[in-house]
Amino acid sequence: MVQTVLFNNEIVSRKEVKIDLEDRGYQFGDGIYEVIGVYNTKTFKMAEHLKRLERSAKELRITLGNILEGLEANLEKLIALNGINDGIVYVQVSRGVAPRAHQFSQLEALPVVIAYTREMERPIEIQEKGVNCLLTEDIRWLRCDVKTLNLLGSVLAKQKAIDNSCYESILHRENVVTEGTATNVFIIKNQIVYTHPADNFILNGITRSTVIDLCKEEGIKVVEEKFDKQQLLQADEGFLTGTFIDIVPINKIEETVLGKGEPGRITEYLQRKFNRLIN
C-alpha cells in the first residue's frame, strides 16, 4: 500500500519526500519531534503534544513561523487516509537546509516538517505481565526536557537493554534515577507514588502528567522528587510510562525482583483508570 505522509505543508506519497543532504536534521540532529498515540482511530492528547513541540522549538530557537497552523488537521488527515486504528503518528521538524556550519544564523530557509503514521498493535502482553529492566548510566546532555532528534544516549542505552534481554534501560546520574530511554519511571513505596521532577534531566512525558493527574483524582499521594537507585530497588512497585505503552509494570531490575515480581496493586489500579481515558 502507498503510504501517505506529510512533507512541509503538503500531503504526498512517501516516495515524493526529498530530504536535502544539507538538512540540519540529517547532519546535526538539529530538530525536534513528537510521537502521538492513536487509539481506535483517535489521537490521545494531541494538543499537549503540539504544545510540547512548540516549547521544544522555542528552547532550541527554531522558528516555526506558521508551521503549527493546520498541523493538527493535517495529522488527523494522515491518520484517516492511512486507515490507522491503533498506532502512532510521528512528526518531526528540522531546523532546515543551509551550507553546513554549526551556527544557524546564515539559515534562510524554513524548517523542514515531515509526519507519518504507523499502525501498531497495543502492547497488551507487557502491560499485563510487566517487564525486566537494566540500570544504565545516563550519558545524555543536560537538556533532556527538550524532545530533540539527538538521541544517541537513548539509542545506546536501549540497545544495551535489548542485548541483555531487557525491555528498557532505567537511566541514572550518579545515584539519582532519571527516566527510561523513551519512558518515565515511577516507583511506589508505602502507598506513595514517586517520580523524578519535571526539570532539565527528564522529558516531561504527556503520559507521566496524565498519570500524576490520575493519582491526584484518585486520592493517591504522588511526590515529584528525585529518588536513588537503592530506593528504586527497594520499591514495593514500579512502572514505566510512555506514549502507546501507556503504563508498563517493572518486575525485575537486573538481579533484583521488584516487590513481588509481578504487576503491583496500585500499578494495576492506575492502568485500569488510564484505560478508561483512551477507550
DSSP string, 176-233: EEEEESSSEEEEEETTEEEE--SSTTS---HHHHHHHHHHHHTT--EEE---BHHHHH
Q: Which of 51, 147, 158, 273 is catalytic?
A: 147
- The 23-42 site mask, x for binding ligand PSZ (CB under 6 A), equals ------------x-------
If the CB atoms of residues 35 and 156 are measured against ligand PSZ, the closer one turns out to be: 35
Q: What are phi and psi of 176, to 5 degrees?
A: -85, 130
- In the complex, the smallest distance separating the C-beta of residue 151 from ligand PSZ, rounded to whole angstroms, is 8
147 included as an active-site residue: yes
DSSP state of 250: E
- The 141-180 site mask, x for binding ligand PSZ (CB under 6 A), equals --------------------------------------x-
If the CB atoms of residues 169 and 251 are measured against ligand PSZ, the closer one turns out to be: 169
If the CB atoms of residues 145 and 262 are measured against ligand PSZ, the closer one turns out to be: 145
If the CB atoms of residues 98 and 127 are measured against ligand PSZ, the closer one turns out to be: 127
Out of 57, 75, 203, 214, name the contact with ligand PSZ by CB under 6 A: 203
- Of 237, 190, 240, residue with least CA distance to 211: 240
Q: Is 96 left (phi over 0), alpha (psi -120 to 50) or beta?
A: left
**CB 14, CB 2: distance < 8 Å:** yes
Q: Which residue is nearest to ligand PSZ (CB)?
A: 205
Q: What are phi and psi of 236, to 5 degrees?
A: -75, -35
- In the complex, the smallest distance separating the C-beta of residue 99 from ligand PSZ, rounded to whole angstroms, is 31
Q: Candidates 58-66, 76-84, 202-210, 214-222 — which segment interacts with ligand PSZ by CB under 6 A?
A: 202-210
Residue 214: CB atoms within 10 Å: 19
Bridge pairing between strands 131-137 and 168-173: parallel
- In the complex, the smallest distance separating the C-beta of residue 192 from ligand PSZ, rounded to whole angstroms, is 21
Binding site residues, ligand PSZ, CB under 6 A: 35, 88, 179, 182-184, 203, 205-208, 241-244
